């Protein structure tokens, strides 16, 4: 299961890729993550996660068209793969499964 | 433009970043930069640079070690692998091809280096395009000058029909007067081996050369010390090579030292007499004769002018109004006996006969050729006007030159005073100690003069040097030619055998013996061989004849030589071919008969075995026989 391992930050990025299906690219993921997490995220961290997951086969990518404000450089759009989706699902099931086992605990306030 | 990301950071990113990532990264970073730029340009720039440095990590740095085209290496590696597999797949043919190719490449390289060597020397002369060597033709037409030029004449170095390089003294000045275009004439004479006196010691040097004073201005030999224009200004000057200077003077300055040319014109052990001095010669002779008497290992001592190695005087005489030439050798009393020469008429010179030293009678001994040439005027004991000499003996013709030369008319006169060489015949087995004691004796008699000797048989062997060199070249070329021809034949027969494997298999099934098959496979090669023999025999005959024309004494080319050579070549060829044929013939036919698709071949062989009324047969084409049987032929015949 080595290749199916998924780190915490990677999972967040993968969720973002899945959420912005076919529209996700570095800056967009970064800004949405910052917004959701309410903290500064470094763009290089996003790229490292994306590249690792592409290597593991969780996402795949394609180039977009040339745009003016990127110095003539194309965007690379990421899409989640079936494997990526399965990993997300199992991760989700694992967590909710364990979560549901939590007995009712009362933390008296 | 101000709103551009920092140039240096961008350049750094482009330098280290993987090529497949750079577009995305640079794009994202630039987009971020633009967004921040609106708020704070300075921060945006700082942030950009900081971000760039964050990418400087293993996953993003390109691989600097492997080059930019990893695919081309893989391609060549693949080529090599495929090539190697092809080679090992068919080992025999690979071996044949590689051996043949390497032999040819080796030969080409040999030729290339030989030619390059031939063209490499004397190229440093600045005036090399303007320097010419004068040659002179037919100053002294010798009797065999009319000999017809043949294909192989180049082998005979000293051929008389070749141009001469020796000119009378007057030619140089005369040429310069007649042809104003001539800027300079350099006269040049190789004196050969000479005696040099250095520091009161006498040495022999192999090459002493006399040259005009303009030698070093005409040729561009680089002078290490001294000046080209003045080096040879006086006849007292001498220029030596670096190695000679080192040999005699070591590390001392050679310029200013004295080298004296010892005054001597020239000199079955031939000991060179170092001087023309009569008394000296007489003294040496007497001592040598005493030495002979006291040493049983010395059989005989004799002296002569000119050598048996081919140096002699050529004298002209008129015979019936015609210019003729003879070779004159000055010999002493012992000469004929020592060399074991037979007399046809008359007698050798004798110490007991006073008349043999007569200056008016001028007695001489001629060879048969000269005696015949002189005709009926020549009579024993009668003064012959043509050669101005009294013939006292006729010696049987003997050869003292290469056998490629005809025996020339030859005259022997008596010399008792000056001798150029002393010949000493030493009993076999005692050669080295005798030479050593001779040398000791020689030192005692002559003082400083070097003891210089050679063996007669070595001198004679030298006469055949060109022929022996030619023989070696021919031998090695023949070896290579035969080797490469055999390789080709071997390859051809192997292909032939492989192509006919199935046919051979069927023949064997139908009852052909190994002998039949080997004969069948070899037949076509024998035919080829016969055609080759028909072409090559006249060619070889012609070439050999051309070569033999160079020899005054030669064998005849008989038909049996060609028969023997042809037979040897045929057996070599058959041996080569039959190796493959036998291998194909003894192979198990089962291995060669694969499917019934070979029906065409079966039909061909079948019709050969049964030319008419072939028995009906059925060849069931069944894809899977049990037990690995590949083919089944059922024949019905009338017995």
pLDDT digits (tens, 9 = 90+) for B405-443: 677 888 888 877 666 677 777 777 677 777 788 888 777
Confidence of residue B633 (pLDDT cuts 50, 70, 90): low
B26 has a chain A CB within 8 A of its CB: yes
Return phi, psi of residue B494, to 5°: -65, -45
pLDDT for the residue B623: 55
B516 has a chain A CB within 8 A of its CB: no
Check residues B467 and B486 and name the one with the higher pLDDT. Answer: B486
Tell me which of B10, B27, B48, B50 to substitute to probe the interface with A (most A C-beta atoms closer than 10 Å). Answer: B27
Residues A70, B27: C-beta atoms closer than 8 Å: yes
Q: Of B24, B32, B54, which has the smallest distance from its Cβ to A76's Cβ?
A: B24
pLDDT for the residue B283: 64
Residues B24, A75: C-beta atoms closer than 8 Å: yes
The closest of B448, B447, B426, B442 to B302, measured between CA atoms, is B426
pLDDT for the residue B594: 56
* C-alpha distance from B88 to closest chain A C-alpha (Å): 40
pLDDT for the residue B625: 57
Residues in contact with B385: Cβ distance below 8 Å, sequence separation at least 6, in sequence order: B377
**Of A46-50, B339-343, B560-564, B566-570, which one has max mean pLDDT?**
A46-50
Please check whether residue B164 is in contact with residue B136, taking contact to mean a CB–CB distance below 8 angstroms: yes
pLDDT for the residue B556: 79
Q: Is the pLDDT of residue A2 over 70?
A: no
pLDDT for the residue B593: 64
* C-alpha distance from A46 to closest chain B C-alpha (Å): 11
Chain B residues within an 8 Å CB radius of A25:
24, 28
Chain B residues within an 8 Å CB radius of A63:
23
Find, in chain A, the residue whose alpha carbon is nearest to that of B48. Answer: A43
Strands B269-272 vs B421-426: parallel, antiparallel or unpaired: antiparallel
Q: Is the pLDDT of residue A49 over 80?
A: yes
* Percentage of residues in chain B having pLDDT higher than 90: 3
Q: Once rounded to an integer, what is the mean pLDDT over residues B371-390?
A: 83
Q: Is the pLDDT of residue B152 over 70?
A: no
Q: Is the pLDDT of residue B137 over 70?
A: no
pLDDT for the residue B158: 47
**Of A56-60, B344-348, B604-608, which one has max mean pLDDT?**
A56-60
For chain B, first and last CA: distance in Å? Answer: 110
Task: Report the C-alpha gap between B363 and B353 in whole angstroms.
Answer: 11
For chain A, first and last CA: distance in Å? Answer: 42
pLDDT for the residue B109: 92
Q: Of B21, B27, B35, which has the smallest distance from its Cβ to A74's Cβ?
A: B27
The closest of B189, B218, B106 to B476, measured between CA atoms, is B106
Confidence of residue B334 (pLDDT cuts 50, 70, 90): confident
Q: Is the pLDDT of residue B265 over 70?
A: no
Number of A–B residue contacts, CB under 8 Å = 60
* C-alpha distance from A96 to closest chain B C-alpha (Å): 34
- Is B301 buried (19+), middle (13-18) or exposed (0-12) by CB count in 10 A? buried
CB atoms within 10 A of CB B298: 21
Kindly state the tokens that stand for B208: 């002493």
For residue A5, the number of C-alpha atoms closer than 13 Å in the C-beta half-sphere is 5
Check residues B221 and A34 and name the one with the higher pLDDT. Answer: A34
* Percentage of residues in chain B having pLDDT higher than 70: 79
Strand partners, A59: A80
CA A72 to chain centre: 26
pLDDT for the residue A30: 93
Chain B residues within an 8 Å CB radius of A42:
51, 54
Lowest mean pLDDT among B37-46, B168-177, B373-382, B439-448: B439-448
Lowest mean pLDDT among A95-99, B148-152, B347-351: B148-152
pLDDT for the residue B154: 58
Find, in chain A, the residue whose alpha carbon is nearest to that of B34. Answer: A69
Please check whether residue B393 is in contact with residue B368, taking contact to mean a CB–CB distance below 8 angstroms: no
Query: Which B residues 30-69 touch A at CB under 8 Å?
Result: 30-32, 34-35, 51, 54-55, 57, 59-60
* C-alpha distance from B56 to closest chain A C-alpha (Å): 10
Q: What is the 3-state secondary structure (H, E, C) of B78-95?
A: HHHHHHHHHHHHCHHHHH
* C-alpha distance from B91 to closest chain A C-alpha (Å): 45
* C-alpha distance from B74 to closest chain A C-alpha (Å): 23
Chain B residues within an 8 Å CB radius of A75:
24, 27-28
Q: Once rounded to an integer, what is the mean pLDDT over residues B67-95?
A: 81
Unique residue bearing structure tokens 């280290």: B16
């Amino acid at each position: 299961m080595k290749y199916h391992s998924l780190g915490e930050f990677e999972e967040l990025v993968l969720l973002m890729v899945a959420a912005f299906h076919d529209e996700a690219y570095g800056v967009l993921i970064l800004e949405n993550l910052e917004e959701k997490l309410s903290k500064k995220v470094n763009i290089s961290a996003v790229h490292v996660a994306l590249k690792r997951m592409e290597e593991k086969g969780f996402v795949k990518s394609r180039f977009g068209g040339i745009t003016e404000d990127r110095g003539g450089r194309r965007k690379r759009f990421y899409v989640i793969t079936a494997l990526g989706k399965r990993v997300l699902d199992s991760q989700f099931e694992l967590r909710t499964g364990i979560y549901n086992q939590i007995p009712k605990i009362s933390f008296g306030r | 433009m101000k709103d551009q990301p920092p140039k240096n950071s961008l350049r750094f990113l482009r330098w280290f970043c993987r090529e497949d990532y750079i577009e995305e990264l640079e794009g994202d970073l630039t987009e971020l930069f633009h967004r921040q730029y609106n708020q704070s340009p300075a921060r945006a720039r700082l942030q950009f640079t900081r971000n760039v440095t964050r990418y400087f990590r293993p996953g993003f740095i390109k691989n600097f070690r492997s080059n930019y085209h990893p695919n081309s290496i893989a391609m060549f590696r693949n080529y090599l692998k495929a090539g190697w597999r092809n080679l090992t797949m068919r080992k025999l043919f690979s071996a044949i091809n590689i051996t043949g190719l390497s032999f040819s490449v080796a030969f080409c390289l040999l030729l290339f280096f030989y030619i390059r060597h031939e063209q490499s020397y004397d190229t440093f002369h600045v005036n090399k395009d303007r320097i010419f060597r004068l040659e002179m033709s037919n100053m002294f037409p010798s009797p065999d000058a009319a000999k017809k030029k043949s294909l192989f004449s180049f082998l005979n170095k000293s051929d008389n029909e070749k141009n001469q390089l020796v000119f009378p003294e007057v030619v140089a000045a005369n040429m310069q007067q007649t042809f104003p275009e001539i800027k300079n004439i350099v006269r040049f004479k190789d004196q050969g081996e000479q005696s040099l006196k250095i520091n009161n010691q006498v040495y022999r040097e192999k090459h002493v050369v006399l040259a005009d004073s303009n030698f070093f201005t005409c040729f561009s030999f680089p002078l290490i010390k001294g000046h080209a224009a003045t080096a040879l200004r006086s006849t007292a000057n001498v220029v030596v090579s670096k190695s000679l200077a080192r040999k005699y003077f070591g590390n001392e300055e050679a310029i200013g030292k004295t080298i004296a040319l010892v005054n001597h014109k020239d000199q079955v052990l031939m000991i060179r007499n170092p001087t023309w001095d009569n008394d000296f010669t007489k003294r040496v002779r007497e001592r040598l004769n005493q030495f002979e008497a006291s040493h049983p290992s010395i059989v005989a001592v004799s002296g002569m002018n000119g050598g048996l190695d081919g140096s002699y005087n050529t004298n002209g005489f008129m015979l019936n109004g015609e210019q003729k030439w003879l070779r004159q050798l000055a010999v002493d009393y012992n000469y004929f006996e020592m060399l074991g020469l037979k007399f046809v008429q008359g007698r050798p010179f004798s110490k007991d006969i006073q008349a043999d030293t007569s200056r008016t009678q001028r007695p001489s001994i001629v060879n048969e050729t000269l005696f015949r040439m002189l005709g009926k005027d020549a009579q024993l004991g009668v003064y012959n006007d043509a050669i101005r000499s009294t013939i006292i003996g006729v010696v049987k013709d003997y050869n003292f030159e290469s056998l490629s030369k005809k025996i020339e008319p030859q005259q022997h006169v008596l010399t008792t005073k000056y001798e150029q060489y002393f010949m000493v015949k030493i009993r076999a087995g005692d050669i080295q100690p005798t030479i050593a004691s001779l040398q000791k004796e020689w030192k005692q008699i002559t003082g400083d003069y070097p003891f210089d000797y050679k063996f007669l048989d070595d001198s004679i062997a030298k006469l055949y040097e060109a022929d022996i060199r030619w023989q070696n070249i021919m031998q090695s070329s023949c070896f290579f030619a035969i080797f490469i021809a055999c390789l080709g034949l071997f390859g051809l027969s192997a292909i032939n055998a492989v192509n006919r494997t199935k046919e051979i298999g069927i023949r064997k099934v139908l009852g052909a013996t190994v002998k039949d098959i080997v004969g069948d496979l070899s037949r076509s090669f024998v035919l080829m061989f016969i055609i080759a023999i028909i072409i090559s025999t006249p060619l070889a005959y012609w070439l050999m004849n051309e070569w033999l024309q160079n020899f005054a004494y030669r064998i005849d080319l008989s038909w049996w030589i060609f028969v023997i050579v042809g037979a040897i070549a045929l057996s070599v060829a058959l041996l080569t071919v039959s190796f493959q044929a036998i291998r194909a013939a003894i192979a198990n036919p089962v291995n060669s008969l694969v499917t019934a698709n070979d029906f065409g071949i079966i039909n061909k062989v079948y019709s050969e075995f049964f030319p008419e009324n072939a028995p009906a047969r059925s060849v069931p084409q069944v894809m899977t026989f049990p037990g690995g049987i590949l083919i089944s032929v059922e024949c019905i015949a009338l017995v």
